């Protein structure tokens, strides 16, 4: 979904996360960074919305540099991007997408503008909550290899 964000769908639930707003230099390696972060999330038993958040941040941070390979996002860049919390929250787009196209009882949506809570079928999770829970785990995993 590019600049709009991403959706992660399993048999039992759906998680949605808007993209981080960045100045794009080059998109080479963004998809690889995104998928690697999703895999890391599953390996470390992160919730879907946590994995999706780190994946969006890793892909966006990679886009801020030129070319893939050695220029993929570092943990420091991902952390800074997540802490800045500059999300592309197009409320109308997400509401229409969810209401018209997604049929699931549990939908989790990443947001920086609301407190944790439920709204109709959508469970909103605050970005800062994810950042505070996730970054220590990522840094520990990075140190421990």
The model carries a pTM of: 0.78
Rounded Cα distance, 145 and 142, in Å: 5
Range 31-47 average pLDDT: 88
Q: So what's the pLDDT on residue 120?
A: 56
CA dihedral (110, 30, 7, 87) in degrees, to 10, reads 30
DSSP H/E element including 130: helix 127-144
Any residues with CB less than 8 A from the CB of 145 and at least 6 apart, and which? none
Mean pLDDT value across the chain: 77
């Amino acid at each position: 979904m590019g600049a709009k964000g991403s959706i992660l769908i399993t048999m039992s639930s759906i998680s949605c996360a808007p993209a981080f707003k960045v100045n794009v230099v080059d998109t080479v390696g963004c998809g690889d960074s995104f998928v690697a972060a999703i895999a890391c999330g599953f390996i470390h038993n992160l919730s879907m919305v946590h994995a999706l958040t780190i994946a969006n941040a890793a892909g966006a941070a990679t886009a801020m540099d030129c070319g893939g390979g050695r220029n993929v996002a570092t943990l420091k860049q991902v952390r800074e991007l997540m802490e800045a919390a500059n999300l592309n929250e197009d409320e109308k787009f997400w509401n229409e997408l969810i209401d018209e196209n997604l049929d699931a009882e549990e939908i989790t949506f990443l947001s920086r503008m609301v407190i944790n809570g439920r709204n109709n079928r959508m469970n909103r999770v605050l970005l800062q909550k994810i950042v505070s829970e996730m970054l220590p785990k990522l840094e520990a995993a990075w140190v421990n290899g």
